[in-house]
Amino acid sequence: MTVRPRVLLVADPHRDGIPATLAIVEPAIQSRAENVLRIAPDDALPEDHFDVAVVLGGDGTILAQARRLASRGTPIAGVNVGRLGFLAAFDADEFAGAAERILGDDPPVTERMMLEIAVESAGSATSNSTELDWAPALNECVVTAGPPFRMIELGLDFNGNGGPHLSGDGLIVSTPTGSTAYNVSAGGPIVHPSCDALVITPLAVHSLAFRPVIASPDEPITITVVRVNEGTTLVIDGQLTRRLEIGDRVHVRRGGHRVRMIRDPSTEFWSTVVRKMRWATGPTYRDR
């Protein structure tokens, strides 16, 4: 006999588009679930166990919930109510049509690598990585120059074996999931989210010889802040920020948890890249 799941529904009813989406999604869940608890994105997570989390919103909402739910191992089904919705596998009608499988015994789940980021302040006595305050990220961490927008200088170290220095507007370290976000806009490579890798992409680097690279996830990266602006900032998933000062060290490593995302089995990653990001769209020819 099929076990009816307990479902956590994350939605902000005051956001444009959410009420109409809820009107389609919520009945599809209620008809198949043992219990449904709806919370707002900023509400505290309940202590109870839930089998599935259904998150309504844009990519930002899904990123924030992924960071909160990864340690619990809760599969996340994203329903797009944003503009692009690259992380959301479904729109409202697609979710309703696939609800039986999404909420069934064997939903199509894919696991995605995360990052953990910690800042070791200049002059800090903390040298043991276990004592640092590590923050999770699904997409990326960015060191960005900030105002007054002069070039900054950063030193890179791969697993204690050294690395290059760069002068420019900053640096992105992304996961494969985040490779289609800020990373690709900055000229970095697209990496299939089933891979595990660290994608390092410089921002407006003052060099013709520093290109984006893909490193092993087993090579922790340390970014040493050599020269900064007053507003130089570490940004995590575009949502969490921390100002940086000369001598600060930003440590980046593979996350200890993986995000479990429920995918739409009728679509595939590369077709999504073509459809949503218009990959390799060519000129408008008269005969096409």
What amino acid positions are annotated as catalytic residues? Answer: 59
How many CB atoms neighbour CB 147 within 10 A?
10
Strand 249-262 to strand 6-10: parallel, antiparallel, or no bridges (unpaired)?
A: unpaired
User: Can you tell me the distance from the alpha carbon of 82 to that of 238, in angstroms, rounded to the nearest whole number?
Assistant: 16
User: Can you tell me the distance from the alpha carbon of 56 to that of 277, in angstroms, rounded to the nearest whole number?
Assistant: 21
Residues 135, 70, 96, 18, CA torsion sign: negative
The residue among 220, 193, 212 whose CA lies nearest residue 134 is: 220
**Cβ(43)–Cβ(68) under 8 Å?**
no
Maximum alpha-carbon separation in the chain: 68
Conformation bin of residue 211: beta by default, left when phi > 0, alpha when psi is -120 to 50: beta
Strand 109-120 to strand 135-137: parallel, antiparallel, or no bridges (unpaired)?
A: antiparallel
The position carrying tokens 């370290």 is 173
